[in-house]
């Protein structure tokens, strides 16, 4: 079975998703953070058209900022945030 090739933007989104989940696993509230990440990715994948590159790139930048925030030692995830 041949799989189609992913674009650079698709690879970047998948990489960000994996990074978010890996960082979430390191936290005390891992299940909450992972559930939040999954929910946000699903929601945005349905809300944002595939051709809206500006919005996708903006969300990728926001995701990288969230990864930096999670890496901080005092990070606490409130289950009701956002």
- Neighbouring C-beta atoms of residue 47, cutoff 10 Å: 9
Express each pLDDT in 34-57 by its tens digit.
Answer: 999 999 999 999 999 989 999 999
Express each pLDDT in 18-29 by its tens digit.
Answer: 999 999 898 888
1 pLDDT band, cuts 50/70/90, is low
Cα angle value 45/31/15 (rounded, 5°): 45
Q: How far is CA 55 from CA 10, 36, 39, 49, 61, in A?
A: 13, 20, 18, 9, 10
Backbone angles phi, psi at 50, to 5 degrees: -60, -25
Within 8 A by CB and 6+ apart from 40, the residues are 82
- For the chain, which residues make up each domain, given as ranges? 9-71
Q: Answer whether 0.75 is exceeded by the pTM.
A: yes
3-16: average pLDDT: 90
82 pLDDT band, cuts 50/70/90, is very low
């Amino acid at each position: 079975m041949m799989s189609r090739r992913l674009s650079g933007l698709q690879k970047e989104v998948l990489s960000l998703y994996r990074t978010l989940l890996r960082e979430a696993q390191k936290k005390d509230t891992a299940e909450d953070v992972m559930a939040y990440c999954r929910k946000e990715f699903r929601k945005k994948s349905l809300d944002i058209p595939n051709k809206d590159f500006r919005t996708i790139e903006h969300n990728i930048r926001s995701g990288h900022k969230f990864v930096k925030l999670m890496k901080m030692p005092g990070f606490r995830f409130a289950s009701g945030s956002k």
